[in-house]
Amino acid sequence: MTGPVLILGARSDIARAIARAFAAEGHPIQLAARHAENLGTDRDDLQTRYGVEVSLHDFDALEVRQHEAFVDGLPVLPEIVVSAIGVLGDQTENEDDVEAALGVIRANFEGPALILGVLANRFATRGSGTIVGISSVAGDRGRASNYVYGSAKAGFTAFLSGLRNRLARQGVHVVTVQPGFVNTAMTAGMDTPGALTAEPSEVGEAIVNAVKKGRNVIYVRRIWWLVMSIICAIPEAIFKKTSI
Protein backbone atom coordinates (compact mmCIF):
# COMPACT_ATOMS: atom_id res chain seq x y z
CA MET A 1 0.00 0.00 0.00
CA THR A 2 2.50 2.62 -1.13
CA GLY A 3 1.10 3.81 -4.45
CA PRO A 4 0.50 7.51 -5.15
CA VAL A 5 -2.45 9.18 -3.43
CA LEU A 6 -4.27 12.05 -5.15
CA ILE A 7 -5.99 14.49 -2.77
CA LEU A 8 -8.67 16.58 -4.50
CA GLY A 9 -9.56 19.80 -2.70
CA ALA A 10 -6.20 19.67 -0.93
CA ARG A 11 -6.46 23.08 0.75
CA SER A 12 -8.92 22.18 3.54
CA ASP A 13 -8.04 21.17 7.09
CA ILE A 14 -9.43 17.69 6.48
CA ALA A 15 -7.51 17.28 3.23
CA ARG A 16 -4.25 18.29 4.91
CA ALA A 17 -4.84 15.70 7.65
CA ILE A 18 -5.58 13.03 5.04
CA ALA A 19 -2.38 13.87 3.18
CA ARG A 20 -0.37 13.54 6.39
CA ALA A 21 -2.01 10.21 7.26
CA PHE A 22 -1.17 8.68 3.88
CA ALA A 23 2.31 10.21 3.77
CA ALA A 24 3.00 8.63 7.17
CA GLU A 25 2.34 5.28 5.47
CA GLY A 26 4.95 6.05 2.82
CA HIS A 27 2.66 7.09 -0.03
CA PRO A 28 3.74 9.69 -2.59
CA ILE A 29 1.18 12.51 -2.47
CA GLN A 30 -0.42 14.52 -5.27
CA LEU A 31 -2.05 17.69 -3.91
CA ALA A 32 -4.72 19.15 -6.21
CA ALA A 33 -6.56 22.42 -5.65
CA ARG A 34 -7.17 25.83 -7.16
CA HIS A 35 -4.01 27.95 -7.10
CA ALA A 36 -2.02 24.88 -6.15
CA GLU A 37 1.20 26.88 -6.24
CA ASN A 38 0.17 28.28 -2.85
CA LEU A 39 0.45 24.81 -1.33
CA GLY A 40 4.24 24.92 -1.35
CA THR A 41 4.45 24.99 2.45
CA ASP A 42 2.30 21.86 2.67
CA ARG A 43 4.44 20.11 0.08
CA ASP A 44 7.66 20.99 1.88
CA ASP A 45 6.29 19.89 5.25
CA LEU A 46 5.15 16.50 3.92
CA GLN A 47 8.44 15.90 2.15
CA THR A 48 10.53 16.86 5.17
CA ARG A 49 8.40 15.14 7.78
CA TYR A 50 7.71 11.88 5.97
CA GLY A 51 10.33 11.65 3.24
CA VAL A 52 7.81 11.12 0.44
CA GLU A 53 7.53 12.69 -2.99
CA VAL A 54 4.86 15.40 -3.18
CA SER A 55 3.62 17.16 -6.32
CA LEU A 56 1.22 20.10 -6.77
CA HIS A 57 -1.52 20.19 -9.40
CA ASP A 58 -3.86 23.05 -10.27
CA PHE A 59 -7.44 21.80 -10.25
CA ASP A 60 -10.90 23.36 -10.21
CA ALA A 61 -13.67 20.83 -9.64
CA LEU A 62 -16.23 23.13 -11.26
CA GLU A 63 -14.32 23.25 -14.55
CA VAL A 64 -15.85 19.92 -15.48
CA ARG A 65 -14.81 20.05 -19.13
CA GLN A 66 -11.18 20.18 -18.02
CA HIS A 67 -11.35 17.05 -15.86
CA GLU A 68 -10.03 14.69 -18.54
CA ALA A 69 -7.12 17.02 -19.28
CA PHE A 70 -6.35 17.30 -15.58
CA VAL A 71 -6.07 13.54 -15.20
CA ASP A 72 -4.01 13.30 -18.39
CA GLY A 73 -1.62 15.89 -16.93
CA LEU A 74 -0.84 13.95 -13.76
CA PRO A 75 2.71 12.55 -13.69
CA VAL A 76 1.30 9.10 -12.89
CA LEU A 77 -2.20 7.73 -12.43
CA PRO A 78 -2.71 7.47 -8.65
CA GLU A 79 -3.49 4.22 -6.90
CA ILE A 80 -5.82 6.02 -4.48
CA VAL A 81 -7.87 9.18 -4.95
CA VAL A 82 -9.59 11.05 -2.12
CA SER A 83 -12.19 13.70 -2.86
CA ALA A 84 -12.22 16.26 -0.06
CA ILE A 85 -14.10 18.77 -2.21
CA GLY A 86 -17.06 20.62 -0.75
CA VAL A 87 -18.50 23.80 0.73
CA LEU A 88 -21.11 24.16 3.47
CA GLY A 89 -22.76 27.36 2.30
CA ASP A 90 -25.55 29.13 4.18
CA GLN A 91 -29.05 27.63 4.04
CA THR A 92 -30.86 30.96 4.39
CA GLU A 93 -28.82 32.48 1.58
CA ASN A 94 -29.39 29.39 -0.56
CA GLU A 95 -33.15 29.76 -0.18
CA ASP A 96 -33.08 33.27 -1.64
CA ASP A 97 -30.11 33.24 -4.01
CA VAL A 98 -30.18 30.78 -6.90
CA GLU A 99 -26.51 31.32 -7.71
CA ALA A 100 -25.47 30.62 -4.13
CA ALA A 101 -27.54 27.41 -4.09
CA LEU A 102 -26.10 26.38 -7.45
CA GLY A 103 -22.59 26.88 -6.14
CA VAL A 104 -23.26 24.60 -3.16
CA ILE A 105 -24.85 21.91 -5.32
CA ARG A 106 -22.07 21.98 -7.89
CA ALA A 107 -19.26 21.97 -5.32
CA ASN A 108 -20.71 19.10 -3.30
CA PHE A 109 -22.14 16.92 -6.06
CA GLU A 110 -21.48 17.82 -9.67
CA GLY A 111 -17.75 18.55 -9.48
CA PRO A 112 -16.73 15.70 -7.15
CA ALA A 113 -18.92 13.14 -8.90
CA LEU A 114 -17.71 13.96 -12.39
CA ILE A 115 -13.98 13.98 -11.59
CA LEU A 116 -14.33 10.68 -9.72
CA GLY A 117 -16.20 9.32 -12.73
CA VAL A 118 -13.22 10.15 -14.95
CA LEU A 119 -10.80 8.50 -12.53
CA ALA A 120 -13.13 5.50 -12.14
CA ASN A 121 -12.89 4.83 -15.87
CA ARG A 122 -9.09 5.00 -15.76
CA PHE A 123 -8.91 2.74 -12.70
CA ALA A 124 -11.30 0.23 -14.29
CA THR A 125 -9.17 0.08 -17.43
CA ARG A 126 -6.09 -0.55 -15.30
CA GLY A 127 -7.96 -3.05 -13.12
CA SER A 128 -6.99 -1.56 -9.74
CA GLY A 129 -7.42 1.44 -7.50
CA THR A 130 -9.34 2.88 -4.58
CA ILE A 131 -11.74 5.82 -4.71
CA VAL A 132 -12.59 7.64 -1.48
CA GLY A 133 -15.38 10.20 -1.42
CA ILE A 134 -16.06 12.39 1.59
CA SER A 135 -19.81 12.86 1.81
CA SER A 136 -21.79 13.90 4.89
CA VAL A 137 -24.32 12.65 7.41
CA ALA A 138 -26.37 15.63 6.21
CA GLY A 139 -27.16 13.55 3.13
CA ASP A 140 -28.80 10.76 5.13
CA ARG A 141 -32.05 12.73 5.52
CA GLY A 142 -33.07 16.17 4.38
CA ARG A 143 -33.44 18.65 7.24
CA ALA A 144 -34.70 22.23 7.18
CA SER A 145 -31.45 23.57 8.61
CA ASN A 146 -29.25 22.56 5.65
CA TYR A 147 -31.27 20.81 2.94
CA VAL A 148 -29.48 22.37 -0.05
CA TYR A 149 -26.10 21.16 1.19
CA GLY A 150 -27.65 17.92 2.45
CA SER A 151 -29.37 17.13 -0.84
CA ALA A 152 -26.12 17.64 -2.76
CA LYS A 153 -24.33 15.29 -0.36
CA ALA A 154 -27.20 12.79 -0.68
CA GLY A 155 -26.65 12.79 -4.42
CA PHE A 156 -22.92 12.29 -3.92
CA THR A 157 -23.54 9.40 -1.50
CA ALA A 158 -25.83 7.72 -4.05
CA PHE A 159 -23.24 8.29 -6.79
CA LEU A 160 -20.52 6.62 -4.70
CA SER A 161 -22.83 3.70 -3.93
CA GLY A 162 -23.56 3.18 -7.62
CA LEU A 163 -19.89 3.51 -8.49
CA ARG A 164 -19.00 0.91 -5.87
CA ASN A 165 -21.58 -1.48 -7.29
CA ARG A 166 -20.36 -0.94 -10.85
CA LEU A 167 -16.65 -1.35 -10.06
CA ALA A 168 -16.81 -4.18 -7.52
CA ARG A 169 -15.86 -6.78 -10.13
CA GLN A 170 -13.25 -4.63 -11.87
CA GLY A 171 -10.62 -4.48 -9.14
CA VAL A 172 -11.61 -0.99 -7.97
CA HIS A 173 -12.89 -0.28 -4.47
CA VAL A 174 -15.02 2.72 -3.45
CA VAL A 175 -15.20 4.07 0.10
CA THR A 176 -17.89 6.49 1.29
CA VAL A 177 -16.88 8.62 4.29
CA GLN A 178 -19.47 10.23 6.58
CA PRO A 179 -17.48 12.49 8.93
CA GLY A 180 -20.20 14.25 10.93
CA PHE A 181 -18.98 17.41 12.65
CA VAL A 182 -15.24 18.03 12.29
CA ASN A 183 -13.30 20.72 14.13
CA THR A 184 -12.24 22.80 11.12
CA ALA A 185 -12.48 26.31 9.73
CA MET A 186 -15.77 25.25 8.08
CA THR A 187 -17.43 24.62 11.46
CA ALA A 188 -15.79 27.53 13.30
CA GLY A 189 -18.44 29.39 15.29
CA MET A 190 -20.89 26.48 15.24
CA ASP A 191 -22.05 24.94 18.52
CA THR A 192 -20.87 21.38 17.91
CA PRO A 193 -21.18 18.75 20.68
CA GLY A 194 -17.82 17.33 21.72
CA ALA A 195 -18.93 13.70 21.51
CA LEU A 196 -20.04 14.23 17.92
CA THR A 197 -17.10 16.34 16.75
CA ALA A 198 -13.99 14.69 15.33
CA GLU A 199 -10.57 16.21 14.78
CA PRO A 200 -9.20 16.32 11.22
CA SER A 201 -6.52 13.79 12.22
CA GLU A 202 -9.28 11.32 13.14
CA VAL A 203 -10.72 11.63 9.65
CA GLY A 204 -7.32 11.02 8.08
CA GLU A 205 -6.65 7.96 10.22
CA ALA A 206 -10.16 6.58 9.62
CA ILE A 207 -9.75 6.87 5.85
CA VAL A 208 -6.35 5.15 5.83
CA ASN A 209 -7.79 2.31 7.92
CA ALA A 210 -10.87 2.04 5.68
CA VAL A 211 -8.68 1.73 2.59
CA LYS A 212 -6.49 -0.92 4.25
CA LYS A 213 -9.50 -2.97 5.42
CA GLY A 214 -11.61 -2.57 2.28
CA ARG A 215 -14.47 -0.87 4.12
CA ASN A 216 -17.42 0.40 2.09
CA VAL A 217 -19.12 3.07 4.23
CA ILE A 218 -17.63 4.58 7.37
CA TYR A 219 -18.84 7.02 9.99
CA VAL A 220 -15.70 8.62 11.44
CA ARG A 221 -17.26 8.58 14.91
CA ARG A 222 -19.49 5.51 15.22
CA ILE A 223 -22.05 7.40 17.30
CA TRP A 224 -23.13 9.16 14.10
CA TRP A 225 -24.42 5.85 12.72
CA LEU A 226 -26.76 5.61 15.71
CA VAL A 227 -27.77 9.28 15.55
CA MET A 228 -28.63 9.13 11.86
CA SER A 229 -30.38 5.77 12.19
CA ILE A 230 -32.70 7.36 14.75
CA ILE A 231 -33.26 10.48 12.64
CA CYS A 232 -33.99 8.42 9.53
CA ALA A 233 -36.47 6.25 11.47
CA ILE A 234 -38.68 9.17 12.56
CA PRO A 235 -42.01 8.99 10.65
CA GLU A 236 -42.43 11.80 8.15
CA ALA A 237 -45.61 13.07 9.81
CA ILE A 238 -43.62 13.67 12.99
CA PHE A 239 -40.35 14.64 11.35
CA LYS A 240 -41.82 17.56 9.42
CA LYS A 241 -42.81 19.16 12.72
CA THR A 242 -39.27 19.09 14.06
CA SER A 243 -36.63 21.79 13.62
CA ILE A 244 -33.39 19.81 13.58
Report percent pLDDT > 70 for the chain.
97
The residues spanned by each domain of the chain are 5-239
CA 238 – CA 234 distance, rounded (Å):
7
pTM equals 0.93
State the chain's mean pLDDT as an integer: 94
Given a cut of 90, whether residue 184 has pLDDT beyond it is no
209 CB neighbour count, 10 Å cutoff:
12
Q: Looking at the predicted structure, is the pLDDT value of residue 10 above 70? A: yes
The SS3 of residue 45 is helix
Greater confidence (195 vs 124) lies with 124
Query: What is the architecture, at CATH level 2, of domain 5-239?
Result: 3-Layer(aba) Sandwich (3.40)
Catalytic residue among 50, 147, 149, 219: 149
Active site residue 149: yes
- The residue-averaged pLDDT of 151-172 equals 97
> Does the pLDDT of residue 28 top 90, yes or no?
yes
Distance CA 16, CA 182 (A): 13
- Which residues, in sequence order, are bridge partners of residue 223? none
* pLDDT at res. 188: 62
> What's the confidence (pLDDT) of residue 198?
86
Strand order in the sheet with 5-8: 54-58, 29-33, 5-8, 80-83, 129-134, 172-178, 217-219
Distance of alpha carbon 73 from alpha carbon 21, whole angstroms: 25
